Amino acid sequence: MTIDALQTIEGLDTKTGLTNCMDDEQLFNDVLAMFIVQLEQDIPVIRQLFNLGDWIGFGKACHSIKGAAASVGAFKVQEQSAILEKAGKEQDETTIKSIYDTYILLLETIKSAIKESL
């Protein structure tokens, strides 16, 4: 994978991701691979918590994704996760339900795009 391929992914700031990985491209690739694994595990959990209406648990799961997204420079995922984390903590069902579908699509899209680039 080249950094050039990653730079084409909308919502991924490779400069931030590389900086967070001490400008080590291999380390960045490894961290991205771990991010994909986390998303593959967390997306079904997010769906389940949403379907159960467990807003506190949902917010906690979004918090986990937020941190991982920050480490790789996935700023759009980080921003949306922060909004949903707060909404979960406050049990703000309206906000969660209004953003949920877009959020899942964002997670699936960035996961697929990064996976194709690895």
pLDDT tens profile 75-113:
999 999 999 999 999 999 999 999 999 999 999 999 999
Write the CB contacts of 71 (distance below 8 Å, at least 6 apart in sequence).
17, 20, 31, 35
Q: What's 62's domain CATH number? A: 1.20.120
With 0.75 as the threshold, say if the pTM is over it.
yes
Split into its structural domains, the chain has a count of 1
pLDDT tens, residue by residue, 31-47: 999 999 999 999 999 99
* Enclosing domain of residue 85: 3-117
User: From the DSSP assignment, how many helices (H) and strands (E) are in the chain?
Assistant: 6, 0
